[in-house]
Amino acid sequence: MYAADALISQQDLPVTVDVIDKLPVPFGLVRYGVAPDHVSIRSVRDTLDKVFEKPGVRFIGGLEVGVDISVQTLHEFFDAIMFTYGASRDRRLGVPGEDLDGSVAATDFVAWYCGHPDADRATFERLIPTATSAVVVGVGNVAVDVTRVLAKTVDELTHTDMPEYVLDTLRKSLLTDIHVLGRRGPAQATYTTKELRELGELLDADIVVERADLVFDAGSEQAIANDKSIARNVEVVKEWATRRTTGKSRRIHLHFMSRPVELRGDDRVREVVVERTELDGAGGAKGTGETFVIKADLVVRSVGYRGMALPGVPFDEGQSVIPHLDGRVQLGGAPVSGQYVAGWIKRGPTGIIGTNKKDATATVAALLADANNLPAAPLPSPADFDTWLLQSGITVVDSAGWQLIDAAERALGESKGRERTTIQTTEDLLNAANAIVS
């Protein structure tokens, strides 16, 4: 959306932009990743939505590139394609027992509580009401989101746009303990202070930090001295280590210098074997061989996202990104004509939403600089693309359809005294859009 905005807002070159999404709705992780209780961050979608009001920008939802249409065919209709499809898969832990029932990827859990059309509802509706102790692996912002959603009372979540079935399932949660595992020390955690602090301010969950976990080497001390946000993160956990529990129903145990080495269970995960680690002096951590066991019937692996290859587009398997130079897709050291990349699929799954604005704007600058060298032969117009879509028989949701979905979600929310409720299934989204299913 930031790329579309940068393209349409410049004056040098007349352009039209089609924003294609495989889902019937736009905004990717803003809709299906940002935690629903972070209402002000989520409201960035109102800003993004304004881009569709600009003449020349259209939404085409429900069209999966690589499945419904090849990249090669897209090139027949567009001078340039910018790939901004993010990093949709989870990174693997690589420990025995990772695939036991009850061990889930944070990507899947987040998709579930955000109401993603592909979410595995049955699994979470079975696991959440039957788990009493959970382990969350990782200490990034996604781990913090997941922990907060698990630890909050439903009353703390009803103002969000979470689908009703999510609230109903969380209402049945029996969780008392949530263990969060950081494999390095408090100075190496990747969460941000604002998000971290929230874990200590929950209505019915105490936070527990062991003093023995607060390990700092020379590199940590240097990082604390040089980086205010790291210093603040450390300050927060140090204060938590002085707190006593206050008898709340849930406890969040924030562990450092602890990494999972095995998940054990029978028909379902029952415990996590955790190895104590020590800082290796080079910013990393290594195992000490000393282990302890945490009882857990739910494990959420929050160790990062991973980008996927798209047929017809170069891919760097090692980094799980599209190789590029200044946003121009590269193959064998040369740019691929008419292909550009921005966002997580360009630079990997790091940074906050605003990072993508700068990133997309930089790629758009490269595209505009190349514009004079794009194929001289006139390409078919957007109208020809519409004809192709019609003839293909694929049900797409256009900008007007998206507005209808938006209105339907607001109306659904209002009927429950909420601002909005996310509509989950593709079928319901298409119905709301009045899309004609062929």
In whole angstroms, what is the distance from residue 378 CA to residue 400 CA? Answer: 28
Contact between 304 and ligand NAP (CB under 6 A)? yes
Nearer to ligand NAP, 193 or 337 (CB): 193
DSSP assignments along 173-192, one per residue: ----EEEEE-SS-TTT--S-
Selected range binding ligand NAP among 6-14, 64-72, 135-143, 405-413, rule: CB under 6 A: 135-143
Q: Which amino acid type is present at position 86? A: G
Closest to 253 in 3D by CA, of 155, 95, 147, 149: 147
Contact between 139 and ligand NAP (CB under 6 A)? yes
Print burial letters for 190-223: b (CB count within 10 Å at least 16), e (below 16). bbebebbbbbbebeebbbbbeeebbbbbebbeeb
Contact between 193 and ligand NAP (CB under 6 A)? no
Contact between 203 and ligand NAP (CB under 6 A)? no
Tokens matching residue 191: 């969460």
CB 120 within 8 A of CB 110: no
User: Of residues 145, 275, 297, 398, which one binds ligand NAP by CB under 6 A?
Assistant: 145
Selected range binding ligand NAP among 16-24, 114-122, 190-198, 262-270, rule: CB under 6 A: 190-198
In whole angstroms, what is the distance from residue 435 CA to residue 438 CA? Answer: 9
Nearer to ligand NAP, 145 or 206 (CB): 145
Contact between 350 and ligand NAP (CB under 6 A)? yes
- 405: helix, coil or strand? helix
Contact between 276 and ligand NAP (CB under 6 A)? no
User: Of residues 61, 115, 349, 401, which one binds ligand NAP by CB under 6 A?
Assistant: 349
Contact between 236 and ligand NAP (CB under 6 A)? no
Question: Which residue, judged by CB position, is nearest to ligand NAP in the bound state?
Answer: 140
User: Of residues 24, 28, 97, 140, which one binds ligand NAP by CB under 6 A?
Assistant: 140
CB 100 within 8 A of CB 111: no
Selected range binding ligand NAP among 302-310, 369-377, 400-408, 422-430, rule: CB under 6 A: 302-310
Cβ within 8 Å of residue 129, ≥6 positions away? 169, 172, 173, 174
In whole angstroms, what is the distance from residue 80 CA to residue 372 CA? Answer: 12
Print burial letters for 103-134: b (CB count within 10 Å at least 16), e (below 16). bbbbbbbbbbbbbbbebebeebbebbeebebb
In whole angstroms, what is the distance from residue 134 CA to residue 146 CA? Answer: 11
DSSP assignments along 239-258, one per residue: HHHT------SEEEEEE-SE
Selected range binding ligand NAP among 120-128, 189-197, 223-231, 368-376, rule: CB under 6 A: 189-197
Selected range binding ligand NAP among 6-14, 221-229, 273-281, 350-358, rule: CB under 6 A: 350-358
Contact between 305 and ligand NAP (CB under 6 A)? yes
Nearer to ligand NAP, 142 or 408 (CB): 142
| Block residue for tokens 């263990």 | 179
Nearer to ligand NAP, 57 or 137 (CB): 137
Contact between 179 and ligand NAP (CB under 6 A)? no
- 228: helix, coil or strand? helix
Site for ligand NAP in 153-172 (CB under 6 A): none
Site for ligand NAP in 373-402 (CB under 6 A): none
CB 430 within 8 A of CB 402: no
How many chain residues touch ligand NAP (CB under 6 A)? 25
Site for ligand NAP in 52-111 (CB under 6 A): 93
Nearer to ligand NAP, 223 or 367 (CB): 223
Contacting residues toward ligand NAP, per CB under 6 A: 93, 137-143, 145, 182-184, 188, 190, 192, 195, 259, 302-305, 349-352
